[in-house]
Amino acid sequence: MNDHTTYRYVSRFGETTDVDVVGGKAASLSRMAASGMPVPPGHTLTAQAYRDHLATSGLESAIAAELAGRDPSDYAAQASVSARIQTMITEAPLPAEVVEEARNAYRTLTAAASDPKPVSVRSSATAEDLPGASFADQHDTYLNVGSEQDMLRAVLNCWASLWSVHAIMYREAQNIAHHDVAMPVVVQHMLDPTVSGVAFTVNPVTADATEIVINSCWGLGEAVVSGIVNPDHIVVSKENLAVTEFQVANKDLMVVRDGNQGTKQVALPSAKARARSLSAEQITSLCEIASTLEASYGAPQDIEFAFEGDTLSLLQSRPITTL
């Protein structure tokens, strides 16, 4: 444990890896931070914050009633129930103690930066980023959040995203009880990367365990994760970290921070669009740390990364669930 004040509703990276407290994404970030990996500073609003928000507004029984009255095979009915539950969560007043701890943690985090930094606000459900149940793209993320009030609103929206129609249906397909799941939320320094992407420590298409596969693009990794651009595709041999394949895509736009709030897409000139997004040195440093992560977790990893210049940061590491 680090020498920090213990909060009921806030856990700083490195303090715990208990998924029931901070969720899957935050547990991985906390584990990486505690082991000295390059993780941007941050903290997590715990599962208890989410549960107390429901309890103080009487939402647990209201949600149970909504779920009991629907036809799970009727998508339109599912969507209607989902919308009502999400509205209940976002319109209910936040508990005062949650607001106080969230604000204090936000102020501490942003004051620690050398210059004013926005944050990212990311879902970290207690059944997220786990072997066999990744919940990839099921829950919300908010990038470049620039104020306390916007941070609190993003937290509410992340909580509500636990009840998106796709998340509801995914839990039911996985036989996960709805009320067994809570939604911790990560609040983390927002980067301004020159290049970002995803690295797989096993080839996700061929299942070749001797290869690391990297997909990368200019700017924020949202462009890769959301499929906005075709990324560069790089295959690296684990044995000697030699690049065996480098397919340069026409990355004609990138996603960047938009002032103090949100993101925007920026068109790129042809020369940059067709240039290699990662240098040989960046590929090597990324593959070295990817191999370390795979060995540490004892399983193939799906890793989100970003470079600001040549400085590497890790934004997520989760098991590959598609092998």
Domain that holds residue 66: 10-189
CB-CB neighbours of 296 under 10 Å: 14
- Whether the CB-CB separation of 54 and 91 falls below 8 Å is answered with no
Q: What is the pLDDT of residues 293-317, one digit of tens each?
A: 999 999 999 999 999 999 999 999 9
Q: How many CA atoms lie within 13 A of 173 on its CB side?
A: 11
Closest CA relative to residue 222, chosen from 248, 256, 247:
256
Q: How far apart, in Å, do the first and last CA atoms of the chain sit?
A: 35
pTM to 2 decimals?
Answer: 0.91
Asked whether residue 265 is assigned to any structural domain, the reply reads yes
131: pLDDT strictly greater than 60 = no
Q: Give residue for tokens 């647990």.
A: 60
Domain containing residue 224: CATH number: 3.30.470.20
Q: Which of 189, 210, 227 is the last residue of a domain?
A: 189
Q: Rounded to an integer, what distance in angstroms lies between the CA atom of residue 284 and that of residue 281?
A: 5
pLDDT of residue 6: 54
Query: What's the mean per-residue pLDDT of the chain?
Result: 92
Q: How many domains does the chain have?
A: 2
Residue 202 shares a structural domain with residue 219: yes
Residue 43 shares a structural domain with residue 174: yes
- DSSP E strands in 165-292: the ranges are 185-189, 195-200, 211-218, 232-237, 243-247, 253-257, 263-267
CA dihedral 133, 138, 144, 149 (to 10 degrees): -110
Residue 229 shares a structural domain with residue 139: no
Q: Which of 134, 165, 189 is the last residue of a domain?
A: 189
DSSP class of 226? T
Q: Which of 161, 189, 217 is the last residue of a domain?
A: 189
Residue 42 shares a structural domain with residue 111: yes
18: pLDDT strictly greater than 60 = yes
